[in-house]
Amino acid sequence: MLLSLLTREEKKYFIDLLNRVVLVDGKATETEQKIFNRLKYELGESFNSYKLSTLSIDKLINYFAKKNDSTKRLVYMNVVALTLNDELYSVEEHLLIEKIQEAFGISEKKKKELMKLVYAERDLRENAKRLISE
């Protein structure tokens, strides 16, 4: 959501970060892969063939931790959306999300507000699918 607000460089780091988040608990689930592909598509056509970097999760987190608050919140919100939209929310994912929240300096209040947006987007998508298929 709103990934067009990221710069080209930030988009590359974002794809890398998403990839590390998806794989933190092993292999990506089918749902995670679909969401990853949707977010990648949202970044633009040139990112469909982007070759992932070998940067560590810590370096990727530190890269975004130095960005402005809006960028950090946007990245955090989309990472959370990826992890919450499948049936499996692993301990590894939870710990990584907490680590990102702390590194980005996101307060509990702001976290709750962002989570509400994530759930609202998910509900909107599900309602749209339901209405279309009726």
User: Is residue 37 a contact partner of residue 62, using CB atoms and an 8 Å limit?
Assistant: no
Q: What is the pLDDT of residues 71-118, one digit of tens each?
A: 999 999 999 988 887 666 688 888 999 999 999 999 999 999 999 998
* CATH at residue 71: 1.10.3680.10
Identify the domain containing residue 43 by its residue range. 3-133
Long-range CB pairs of 55-58 (<8 Å, 24+ gap) are 55/13, 55/16, 57/17, 57/20, 57/21, 57/24, 57/96
Domain count, the chain: 1
pTM beyond 0.85 = yes
- C-alpha gyration radius of the chain: 14
User: Is residue 38 a contact partner of residue 74, using CB atoms and an 8 Å limit?
Assistant: no
pLDDT at 87: 66
Task: Give the rounded percent of residues in the chain with a pLDDT score beyond 70.
Answer: 96
> Which residues 6+ apart lie within 8 Å of 13 measured at CB?
55, 60, 63, 64
